[in-house]
Structure 1
Amino acid sequence: MQHIDARMTCGRLSFEDRKLVEIARAMYSDPKVLIIDETTSALSKNGRDILYGLMEKMKSEGKSVIFISHDIDELMEKCDYLTVFRDGIYIDEVPKEKFNADLIKQLMVGREMVGAYYREDFKPSHEDEVVLSVEHITQGIVTDVSFDAYKGEILGIGGLNECGMHELGKLIFGLEPRTIGVTRYHGGVEFKNPTDAMKLGIGYISKDRDKEAILTAASIRDNICLPSLSKLQKGIFITDKREKEFTNSYINTLEIKTSGMEQLCMHLSGGNKQKVVIAKWVGFDASVLIMDCPTRGIDIGVKAEIYRIMEKMKADGRTIILISEELPELIGMSDRLLIMKDGKITKEFQRSKELSDRDIINYMI
């Protein structure tokens, strides 16, 4: 954590550095029991290694760690004992000697989920039409990045947390200004900001859900309807009935667990918040959707639902740019995969049954 200037306000820190400060604050009082709630989903490999080291240190000192996570591989590797809850109800306890990924999935979801739950096909597939062109984008760490994305393609972008891929997503959508480079829709129309992007049917899901992807102090209805107000408008009016019908259709489609559409999003679970974010852009009818870590910090059941939505969008001829720190997700869902390191694209992979983490990781580190 030595790279963090203690004189800075936390509002100026990155998402990951804010989490590291949170860890430092929790450790300052030398706790005997440390509760870690979905913290690793916000951290890069370096950040995770710091946290794992603290966990091991506490264990060696006879102290306890309660480690809450949806990442099954992480739970199996780091925990001595696993307690499974589902929908707020205690389900079962599993000692380390009985850890089994398929068993844990079944306990978490409530039904059998054996093996992979990504796409079943292993061939890249998309139309020949270029929908989005990124040309020589340069700003901050991102340096001279260019690529085309095709109609009906899931284009994956991966790398370590600090490689520049999250910044690239914002630059493409126009949330941050570019020093050099342009983004074009269908090869011609240039767009520079979110307003222009949305007019062209381009949407963006931020990695930082609570700060950038959703209005936590607003209702589910307000969040889902916000990007689609012009579509809901009839003349100069938007009727209450029209908003309610629109919101209900997506609450039902995505099975958002809620007390009602007027419930504030701050009171939803992480998975249901993410469903609201997805509903917002699916309802907007985005032709291109930039998804930055869309399954971060949610359980495998919700993940599987989001993957099915992505497959449907692909089948409907929509384009998805999937930015993720999870290699299994990128390998499992992408037609084509771009790997970034130090702000540049270092390698491109095509979808293949033989493609593995080992093929990719050397181009990331």
Structure 2
Amino acid sequence: MGEILLRAENIDKHFGITHALDNVSFTFNKGEIHALIGENGSGKSTLTSCLTGIYQKDSGKFILEGKEITATNQVEANHQGVAIIVQEIGTLSGLTVAENIFLGNEDQFTKCGIKNTAAMNKKAQEYLDSYGFNYIDATKVIDDYNFEDRKLVEIVKSTYFNPKVLVVDETTTALGQKGREELFKVMHKVRDTGNCVIFISHDLEEVIEQSDNISVLRDGVKIGSITKEEATPDRLKALMVGREIGDSYYRTDYGEKVSDEVVLSAKNVTVKGQIENLNLDLHKGEILGIGGLSECGMHEVGKALFGASYFRQGSVTLGDGTPINSIPDAIKHSIAYASKDRDNESLVINDTIGDNICLPSLEDLKTHGFLRAKTMNEFANKFAKQMSTKMTGVDQFVSALSGGNKQKVVLARWVGKDSDLIILDSPTRGIDVKVKADIYAMMDDMRKRGKSIIMISEEIMELLGMADRILIMKDGKINGEFLRSPDLKDTDLIDNMI
């Protein structure tokens, strides 16, 4: 065992009637990457949020290098030597890259009440360059950059001051392969300088590969800790869910003929800088997978097909020729879309679970032109429970949910709408192993009932396991097409991505 750097002693936290952390104690050592794993709502993010000042614990202590620390916000936590990179967007719109990096720490550039913006920009650019992110301009507004680049800015923001404890909370789910590699370099640097990384991830292979020790939480209680050498995916799954679960995530069928009926067509779809002359057909009862590296344009495809791209050129039509040019068009014609960026594009964060689930179905829920609270409540409860959403009730605000449970609300919304065509961008991002299997089973059931699904994913095994047909994108264009086959390998897809 290494020298202890951080102790969490008897941490307790309630959210209303939900006991999120039940007298939890951990030790984290110097020079280690310590993974925290568990199902959605197990308490992982709640524990680290209490450590970093996002939430306030009800009782217990955090002791860093023998001294008790208490932070009421993330800036205070930074000053105490603790930093966090969160799962969702952790930068503020409207501010520059430099202003985001030094948010709460601008005093170092202020003299006599006047901020030296040029000096701040210069220092921010020096940090960006040292991390290898020199293509990011410190002077630009953060909104000029995409989801992944904003996460890279957060990496700089959270680590430039050499924190003693770095929390990485589901960050890899927001990053493509290149971004993940950069993050892992930073994690290893923190560990190799004698500090500690607390690593939260649902990717068990990733956890085993990157971590030195692994601890499991279940329903707010610490279940146990094992070393990297003792860990296998099956053992971790069993610890997480309290029983053995199989590897039968994916479809087992091969050779089934997909219908010739085309339900959606894209012709010469172009979004400047993202997609160039995209042509595709989606068939009835088909799961069409779209994959590639993070900057290949695949995430923009979902928006373009749903009518959510402002500068789309080309045409998107239903099988009968009906054009889809806007989000209202899409919803009216039974098309659903779940974005990768759920906080900003898929959910109304400062509203209830019930309202979020009911939102696309309001017209369907009306009786004689009126909405009844009882009808909406029953509808929301039905589909929230169908997705196993961990909540105090449908009147709970979405902002209080874990990342995985937010994703369940997104999916519950569209399962309730019973759309015929579903566009899912990164559908299992931040989802635990048990619910991931449930989502795959749900997709397979939809397919069998004649629903059509476009699944956009950066996870190669997800594409191989679930899709009838896979399109690989590179530089905004389709660079390969593969039919479902037991002989299809991940290397076949990778060769067309790079």
What is the TM-score normalised by the length of structure 2?
A: 0.72
Indicate whether 1:43 and 2:190 are aligned: no
Shift of 1:362: 0.6
Shift of 1:319: 0.4
| Partner residue, 2:195 | 63
| Partner residue, 1:74 | 206
What is the TM-score normalised by the length of structure 1?
A: 0.97
One of 447, 469, 476 as aligned partner of 1:314: 447
Shift of 1:309: 1.1
Structure 2 letter corresponding to 1:41: T
Structure 2 letter corresponding to 1:139: V
| Partner residue, 1:133 | 265
Shift of 1:87: 2.5
| Partner residue, 1:30 | 162
Indicate whether 1:15 and 2:129 are aligned: no
Indicate whether 1:114 and 2:246 are aligned: yes
Indicate whether 1:327 and 2:475 are aligned: no
Q: Deviations over 1:292-327 (max 9, x none)?
A: 001111211121111111111111110000000000
Contact 1:177/1:192 (<8 A) preserved = no
Consecutive unaligned residues of structure 2, counting only runs of 5 or more, are: 1-132
In the TM superposition, 1:243-282 aligns within 5 A as 243-282=376-415
Contact 2:162/2:190 (<8 A) preserved = no
CA distance in 2, matches of 1:317, 1:283: 16
Of all paired residues, the percent bearing the same amino acid is 49
CA distance in 2, matches of 1:240, 1:32: 50
CA distance in 1, matches of 2:162, 2:255: 52
| Partner residue, 1:206 | 339
Runs (4+) of structure 1 exceeding 3 A deviation are: none
CA distance in 2, matches of 1:42, 1:364: 18
Shift of 1:81: 0.9
CA distance in 2, matches of 1:195, 1:347: 32
Query: Residue 363 of structure 1 aligns to a residue in which SS?
Result: helix
Shift of 1:254: 1.6
Query: Residue 415 of structure 2 aligns to a residue in which SS?
Result: helix
Return the index of the structure with the highest Cα Rg.
2
Identify which of structures 1 and 2 has the higher relative contact order when contacts are C-alpha pairs closer than 8 Å and 6+ apart: 1
Query: Residue 301 of structure 2 aligns to a residue in which SS?
Result: helix
Structure 1 letter corresponding to 2:190: M
Q: How many residues align?
A: 365
Query: Residue 2 of structure 1 aligns to a residue in which SS?
Result: coil
Deviates more, 1:9-18 or 1:197-206: 9-18
CA distance in 2, matches of 1:82, 1:8: 39
Query: Residue 189 of structure 1 aligns to a residue in which SS?
Result: coil
Q: Deviations over 1:91-119 (max 9, x none)?
A: 12111111211111111222212334111
CA distance in 2, matches of 1:307, 1:110: 21
Contact 2:471/2:482 (<8 A) preserved = yes
Give the CA RMSD over aligned residues. Answer: 1.2
Q: Deviations over 1:183-222 (max 9, x none)?
A: 1111411110110111100010000011111111100110
Query: Residue 217 of structure 1 aligns to a residue in which SS?
Result: coil
Structure 2 letter corresponding to 1:90: K
Consecutive unaligned residues of structure 1, counting only runs of 5 or more, are: none
In the TM superposition, 1:336-351 aligns within 5 A as 336-351=469-484
CA distance in 1, matches of 2:342, 2:236: 26
CA distance in 2, matches of 1:291, 1:125: 22
CA distance in 1, matches of 2:311, 2:262: 22
Deviates more, 1:183-192 or 1:120-129: 120-129
Deviates more, 1:187-196 or 1:104-113: 104-113
